[in-house]
Amino acid sequence: MAVTCKAWCESPMVLRSKLDSLRAELDDVSVFKSVYKYSFDFTRDDEQSNLDMDTAKKHASFASGRNVEQCKYNKGVNKDQWYKVF
């Protein structure tokens, strides 16, 4: 997925016109996994090695379109655990 902000983000209208094609790219399993893995480092604070559970639940629910809010665990999620979800 070769997205450059300069080409895609000229204005909100240009970005809106590209959203359908970007969503379609996420249907490719390898692209989705790549974005999902990237999101771990994007979501956590620089000094953290784990995501706190509240952030992990909300982010995984958003990324997957599934409700994972009812997870029973209260500890944080490390990178290996994050990668195993999908």
Structure tokens belonging to residue 37: 């893995």
Model confidence pLDDT, tens digit, residues 21-33: 888 888 898 988 8
Q: What is the mean pLDDT of the chain?
A: 78
Structure tokens belonging to residue 16: 């809106």
Domain segments of the chain as ranges? 27-84
Task: Specify whether domain 27-84 bears CATH 3.40.50.800.
Answer: no
27 Cβ contact list (under 8 Å, min separation 6)? none
Helix (H) or strand (E) holding 74: none
Model confidence pLDDT, tens digit, residues 40-72: 888 888 888 888 888 888 877 777 777 766 666
- The whole model's pTM is what? 0.60
